[in-house]
Homo-oligomer: A and B are copies of this chain.
């Protein structure tokens, strides 16, 4: 990663970490304090913070004050974290490890993980609603976008398809693309759109953000599929080969590693072209390129 990208990324990540700390419930709850520990445990497990970074960067690219994007960015990261906690549950993917640490239910027990996930699904709406920097119209737009994209029509819908695909013999390309568009793509699109909303961007800029997000979201997922086959387990923070083990249809099983790499490269190039529409998009171009060559 180029230094200029790395530095800007660290700057954003610092704002996000500080926002997540501000919204932490640790020390603020009574008898139910454990749930705050479980929420923070999963939020602090790290991850790349790609979604909240996109919120902040699109806010900046559209001429908004980046400080206005801190609450929406933290809110989105909470939704993402809630989905990971519930995804890892024994009745779902049954994953013991996440980002190199025991998953939430392994650490806190299943019931606590269900409730910590629930709390992280609801708190984002409170954070946006109670934010001091945003006006009511903007809050309502942010909440409408976040709730629609993370619910049954969006991310949760994608998880439902993913879960039901386990019992399907033939998962075709159309199904796979739809599943990924909802499960991963939708929140990445929402990240870009929430940045636009926080900046009160016009329709034209919002449309461009959406097109960029479409390419990035799909490329991101294809790389994930490739990493499940090729990555170093240590770096990835979870076992590799799980897709193959579960006989999952992925971009790799459909098109092979080379075919999948080719599509990810083409989508990334298209995404980079779209970013030409924005002035000063050097950082985001660097980040987009980095996501293509990432190894975790």
Query: Which residues does A use to contact B, with CB under 8 Å?
Result: 25, 28-32, 34-36, 39, 82, 86, 89-92, 109-112, 114-115, 117-119, 121-123, 125-126, 128-130, 136-137, 139-141, 143-144, 146-148, 150-153, 156-161, 163-164, 175, 178-179, 182
Contact = CB atoms under 8 A, between A and B. Distances in A.
Contacts of A111: 91-92, 163
Contacts of A92: 111, 114
A122 B29 contact: no
B126 A160 contact: no
A30 B121 contact: no
Nearest to A110: B91
Contacts of A150: 122
Contact of A151 (B109, B126, B143, B182): B126
A166 to B, nearest CB: 9
Contacts of A156: 32, 35, 115, 118-119, 122
Nearest to A138: B136
A152 B119 contact: yes
A25 B161 contact: no
B159 A147 contact: no
Contacts of A119: 151-152, 156
30 contacts: A25-B152, A29-B152, A30-B157, A31-B161, A31-B178, A32-B152, A32-B182, A39-B152, A86-B114, A90-B91, A91-B111, A92-B111, A111-B163, A115-B152, A115-B156, A115-B163, A117-B118, A118-B118, A119-B152, A121-B122, A122-B151, A126-B143, A126-B147, A126-B148, A129-B140, A129-B143, A130-B144, A136-B140, A140-B140, A143-B143
Contacts of A28: 153
A158 B121 CA distance: 16
A251 to B, nearest CB: 18
A133 B29 CA distance: 35
Given A32-B158, A143-B129, A147-B123, A153 B114 contact: no
A34 B164 contact: yes
A31 B164 CA distance: 9
A75 to B, nearest CB: 10
Contacts of A123: 147, 151-152
Contacts of A163: 111-112, 115
Given A136-B137, A147-B129, A152 B35 contact: yes
A12 to B, nearest CB: 25
